[in-house]
Amino acid sequence: MDQPKTTVAGTNIEEVKRLNAQSGLTYNEVKALLAKQKRTAKK
């Protein structure tokens, strides 16, 4: 039987990874995007 990987608390690791992939930009990705837009706006 193929059991899903879980943490000690019972969290399904693969499900968390799947949901994170669908959630959009990360905090750091947003910061980088805003910094790039700010640099190009100054030119």
Spell out the domain ranges in the chain.
13-42
CA 31 – CA 17 distance, rounded (Å): 22
pLDDT digits (tens, 9 = 90+) for 8-26: 999 999 999 999 999 999 9
CA 11 – CA 26 distance, rounded (Å): 21
| Contacting residues for 33 by C-beta, under 8 A, at least 6 apart | 25
pLDDT band at 29 (very low <50, low <70, confident <90, very high): very high
Q: Which of residues 43 and 21 earns the better pLDDT score? A: 21
- Helix residue spans in 1-43 (DSSP H): 13-22, 27-42
